[in-house]
Amino acid sequence: MTTSSRPPSHRFASVAGRIALTVLPLGAALTILAGLLPAPQGPSDPRTLATRIVAGVVISAVALAAVLVATRREGKPLGDAGLTSIRAGWRLAVWGALVWVVPAAATFVVLALLGTPLTVTVPAAELARTVPLLLLAVLLTEALPEEAVFRGHVTTTVAAVTRGWWVIIAQAVLFTVFAGVLRQTWHPADLSLFLAMGIGLGYLRATTGSVWMPIGFHTAFQTGSQLVLTHEAVHLVGGTGAAGLALGAIPFAAAAVLVSTTGVPRLVAPGARAPR
């Protein structure tokens, strides 16, 4: 059996450099666009959402290009970073979204029965316009670029020096630090949310071997969260505590249990690995 002759410090330095090839371009794109874009008129304003979508096209392009360059430089195909073709991945993305939507919706129903309803505060036409625009904005500015970089290239790169849960935890920590640097806030409550999110999405990536299920789950999670917490289209009587339960804790727990016990349906991913 052959082993690497390089000392551990050199291996970790190499991994750090490879990670920087994708994380730094994503961070630069987000920072530059945040400085260039005009102040939003309101989170639900169509012009604000359209601006986010246009910015998202640029951010996603930068992230995907960075991952492509990094993987080619390493002599690996994109599939090694979990970025299979859209033809193979769209079902996983839809499945990931459903895995969030169903338990979240069920939780909101239970909360409503307990006297904590979720109410729509705008006309149906406005809600029907806001939801798809918000979903597309979230997909392009957050879910696709972040999953491609962190659950894609970063996860694969970290796996070169460690295994199992250490990979999931390491990429989640890097994701949390990245969020803290960009947001310029290090409040423990905020950071713990990003860490939990990174671990949950990292687990989906590790279990399915693809970034597409995390992309779908991430898109649904952030679309629902922003719709409830930052937009004026819906209102939850129970406040942030009930919202955190319905939007985060229960859907993430349900997703972990589902993929651990049943894996991915063959209709969704014919070649998916069975759970161990």
Q: What single string gives the DSSP state of each residue in 189-254?
A: HHHHHHHHHHHHHHHHHHHHSSSHHHHHHHHHHHHHHHHHHT-SSEEETTHHHHHHIIIIIHHHHH
More confident residue, 121 or 144: 144
| Rounded distance between C-alpha atoms, residue 43 and residue 51, angstroms | 11
Q: 173, 213, 210: which is closest to 194 by C-alpha?
A: 173
Q: What is the pLDDT of residues 214-228, one digit of tens each?
A: 999 999 999 999 999
Taking residues 97-105, what's their average pLDDT?
97
What angle separates helix 46-73 from helix 124-138, to the nearest 10 degrees?
A: 20
Taking residues 146-167, what's their average pLDDT?
96
Query: What integer pLDDT is reported at residue 240 of this predicted model?
Result: 81
Name the one residue in this structure whose structure tokens are 């319905």.
Answer: 246
The percentage of the chain sitting over the pLDDT mark of 90, rounded to a whole number, equals 70
Query: What integer pLDDT is reported at residue 265 of this predicted model?
Result: 85
Domain boundaries of the chain, sorted by first residue: 8-261
Name the one residue in this structure whose structure tokens are 């601006």.
Answer: 51
Q: Is 139 exposed, middle or buried (0-12, 13-18, 19+ CB in 10 A)?
A: buried
Q: What is the pLDDT of residues 164-194, one digit of tens each?
A: 999 999 999 999 999 999 998 899 988 999 9
CA-angle at 249, arms to 26 and 52, nearest 5°: 35
With 70 as the cut, is the pLDDT of residue 148 above it? yes
